[in-house]
Structure 1
């Protein structure tokens, strides 16, 4: 894997795989998301302009700043697909980063997926904890996939 030189998420204190859907496991998943997001965008604190990562054999990956405060940053991460109806963002994930706690939470994800299998999984998970769990597991796996494909975002200097 390309992340040998980076911090890994193998030492997260509580395995989210052991007791899924508990609050403690969800927080550990957020910690793993933060680590994986920092593999993709090592300068999370300095992202200010929209960025696009392009690698051969994969769709362009878009990262945009939505909001920044003293302790949090909210980003949008997505692929943009060209469709006969126009451009479509999918999976279009809104991520809140909690800098002091080193956590990253997928707050929202496109509600209706273009892909039938993803939509069938989403529709079976109705409760709030299940929704959070599903969004963040998806983000966790997608971040790993993006890094393995070679995507990276450079930091932009703060203004």
Structure 2
């Protein structure tokens, strides 16, 4: 999982021109149909917390990806700390469990973030606005 977190950090550095300014928000569009927002919610010397969410008025909220990601600048890693408002992830889960999480759910959401960032970079997102 460390390699995925390092890849996510590298991709975030390409997507975010300024990742150390708190309350900075970027909205991107990909192919005129997919819009998403990357909002820096907390910035410190060694970490930055980012909220990533898809924006689409025609899609129900539960189908839109939304996650909170922590960027660790000293380790050059980015880790999903919350996804779809589920709270923090344990390293692994017994299966079955009450919340029906997969054994490797933490790794899966970090891989999803990697694929999503790769898609966005491949399709050259353009900044719609900075708030």
Settle same-fold status: TM greater than 0.5: yes
The answer to whether the 8 A contact 2:12-2:117 is kept is: yes
Residue number in structure 2 paired with 1:68: 43
Residue number in structure 2 paired with 1:44: 19
RMSD (CA atoms): 2.7
Residues of 1 paired with 2:20 and 2:126: CA distance? 15
Where does structure 2 lack aligned partners over 5 or more consecutive residues? Answer: 87-98
Instruction: Select the structure of larger CA radius of gyration.
Output: 1
1:144 corresponds to 2:118:
yes
The answer to whether the 8 A contact 1:40-1:152 is kept is: no
Where does structure 1 lack aligned partners over 5 or more consecutive residues? Answer: 1-25, 113-122
> Number of matched residues?
116
Structure with more of its chain in strand, by fraction: 2
Residues of 2 paired with 1:81 and 1:111: CA distance? 18
Residues of 1 paired with 2:50 and 2:10: CA distance? 15
